[in-house]
Amino acid sequence: MRQEKLLIPTLREAPSEAEAISHQLLLRAGFIRQVAAGIYTYLPLGLRVLRKVSAIVREEMELAGVQEILMPAMQPAELWHESGRYEVYGQELIRFQDRHQREFVLGPTHEEVITALVRNEVNSYRKLPLTLYQIQTKFRDERRPRFGLLRGREFLMKDAYSFDSSWEGLDSSYRSMYDAYCRIFARCGLNYRPVEADAGAIGGEGGTHEFMALADIGEDTVVSCMSCDYAANLEKAEGHSGEADPSLLLQVEGNAEAGSAVNKQGQAAAGAGHYDRLHTPDTRTIQELAQSTGMAASSFVKTLIYLCDENYIAVLVRGDHEVNEIKVKHALDAENLVLADAAAIEAITGAPTGFAGPIGLSIPILVDRSVAAMKTVIVGANEQDYHLRNVQPGRDFSLRIMGDYRNATEGDCCPRCGGGLVFHRGIEVGQVFKLGTKYSEKLDAKFLDSTGREQLMIMGCYGIGISRILSAVVEQHHDSGGILWPNAIAPFYVHLIMVSVKDTEQVRLAEELYRQLKVAGVEVLLDDRDERPGVKFKDSDLIGIPIRITVGRQAAEGLVEYRERRTAEQIVISADTVVAKVT
């Protein structure tokens, strides 16, 4: 496609209401525009990505033997009365009347419609198992629509529903959907974790898992074990272990992968000279610290984690590779517990906290000396007494609650293996539920089994937030210049830049490459705008197409620049070979 006429309204600055980086970038790069709170238009680039994600979802659904249908968004209220959810769903459910005063709702989910469909159309065990899915716009009047596509009031969801004749059948339908979800999120380039979750409002008798894309902006907390594959959302984990144990200690662990990035940041920060030296470690337990704030230990821990995320606490690490002390320090004076307000934090960190008023709590230093078991290289550990600023939990380190080594009790560690637990922030990008007979009972969805007896169908339901994935991916894949789309869902694969539209050599070569790339089946966006090169390159970085080919001054010699967006690696190569390199 040609950029000249394509609607890609890029912006220098992000609108001030956009808090999340993904929201800012999707607006700035011209992928979406807001129509009302939580309601968006997808511009050509945004729609292309939405379609790419949908295509991956469709492929994996087909592979799992699931059939696509399309149900209406407008649903008669009677069905919701039948299921009993009309009253209990609350204000998220958008209700309205037609011209004859008949009651309707806009579907926030489709259990009612699909159960009624299958009840009417499927009567025999011979037709089971049956799994159906759709990709459809959902409506939820969220209390707090925010972060762009992450929490919309109108959004695109893939929802699937399975009908089985036995509980073993449900297990296998569930498993196959779970596996498909893993493939979908991996193909979209997401760093995600499947976690055990609570059944919540949709309810049901069986298990449920959420798929969490790890990101600091995420509204959920993921607890995972460092020693086995146990992972759960915080509510579920607390269900396992009861109230947080008073003897818990909080531990901070660096993320080895992020180490280099952190060190770079740390060096930049050190240059700015804002940083003090280590303070004396505070060895109080969570219990003691919580007491001094008047909070219950469990709420204290939650608040702590929340504040750490919001305020980018400083992490202090002393040590060489045999780590002997690890400290978490709030950017405030860490030696004292003081009542801090947002202004004080902002004054010290130089960054907005996002808090309007006093928050009533500062973060103490917490130290755990029982680190013998920890082998991971810690953030900044290659520099003695190194202070890092703007370190982000999750990306740069994780907070880990572990049993007090002096007084270990059951329940504060992994419920499966007793190992240490790690906390991350997560965005729920999908969820799978074993519903059992909850809806088939209410809506009377039965089948005749092989002995001719009537049985209730056993159901599962499976959702993926397709539009939410766009934002989750951008949260995980961006740099200071803009978005870094994973190849599989990039709006285009190649951005072909014609540096000067007035240079006939450049125009000729760029047009020729454009033609060749299209013939080769490569999705290519040709920047044929009459703009300054700087504008073109800035826009190109912002939009985030994986490969950039620049036809500039060396066009006359048959040379072009080939650059990967993600690595910024750039080479000059012959125009004759560039198409082959891309394909």
> Which conformational region is residue 88 in: left (phi greater than 0), alpha (psi within -120 to 50 degrees), or beta?
alpha
Cβ-Cβ contacts under 8 Å for 123 (sequence gap 6 or more): 446, 447, 448
Provide the CA 361 distance to its chain's centre, in angstroms. Answer: 28
Residue 431 in the binding site for ligand ATP (CB under 6 A): yes
Beta-bridge partner residues of 75:
105
For residue 122, give the nearest of 446, 455, 451, 460 by alpha carbon.
Answer: 446
Minimum distance from residue 372 beta carbon to ligand ATP (Å): 38
Options 140, 146, 400, 478; binder of ligand ATP; rule CB under 6 A: 140
Residue 467 in the binding site for Mg ion (CB under 5 A): no
Options 164, 196, 396, 428; binder of ligand ATP; rule CB under 6 A: 428
Options 30, 148, 152, 266; binder of ligand ATP; rule CB under 6 A: 152
**Contact code string over 421-460 relative to Mg ion, x by CB under 5 A:** -------x--x-----------------------------
Minimum distance from residue 570 beta carbon to ligand ATP (Å): 37
Minimum distance from residue 197 beta carbon to ligand ATP (Å): 8
465 vs 491, which CB is nearer to ligand ATP?
A: 465
Residue number, nearest CB to Mg ion: 431
Residue 429 in the binding site for ligand ATP (CB under 6 A): yes
Residues 447-506, interacting with ligand ATP (CB under 6 A): 463, 465, 467-468
Minimum distance from residue 527 beta carbon to ligand ATP (Å): 32
Collapse the DSSP code of 318 into the 3-class scheme (helix H, G, I; strand E, B; otherwise coil) and give the result.
Answer: strand
Check: CB of residue 216 under 8 Å from CB of residue 396. Answer: no
For residue 430, give the nearest of 190, 258, 139, 231 by alpha carbon.
Answer: 190
CA gap 508, 513 in Å, rounded: 9
The binder of 430, among ligand ATP, Mg ion, none, by C-beta within 5 to 8 A per type, is ligand ATP
Residue 265 in the binding site for Mg ion (CB under 5 A): no
Options 82, 142, 205, 383; binder of ligand ATP; rule CB under 6 A: 142
Cβ-Cβ contacts under 8 Å for 141 (sequence gap 6 or more): 91, 92, 93, 94, 153
Minimum distance from residue 92 beta carbon to ligand ATP (Å): 8
Q: Tokens 């469990």: give the residue.
A: 298
CA gap 423, 410 in Å, rounded: 19
Minimum distance from residue 158 beta carbon to ligand ATP (Å): 8
Task: Compute how many residues bind ligand ATP; rule: CB under 6 A.
Answer: 15
CA gap 276, 348 in Å, rounded: 12
The binder of 468, among Mg ion, ligand ATP, none, by C-beta within 5 to 8 A per type, is ligand ATP
What are the distances in angstroms from CA 72 to CA 22, 158, 296, 529?
A: 30, 14, 47, 42
**Contact code string over 96-125 relative to ligand ATP, x by CB under 6 A:** -------------x----------------
Minimum distance from residue 441 beta carbon to Mg ion (Å): 22
CA gap 2, 420 in Å, rounded: 53
Residue 359 in the binding site for ligand ATP (CB under 6 A): no
Instruction: Measure the N-to-C terminal CA separation of the chain; round to a whole number of Å.
Output: 18
Collapse the DSSP code of 248 into the 3-class scheme (helix H, G, I; strand E, B; otherwise coil) and give the result.
Answer: coil
129 vs 430, which CB is nearer to ligand ATP?
A: 430
Check: CB of residue 313 under 8 Å from CB of residue 345. Answer: no
Minimum distance from residue 71 beta carbon to ligand ATP (Å): 15
Residue ranges that bind ligand ATP, judged by CB under 6 A: 109, 140, 142, 151-152, 155, 157, 428-431, 463, 465, 467-468
Residue ranges that bind Mg ion, judged by CB under 5 A: 428, 431
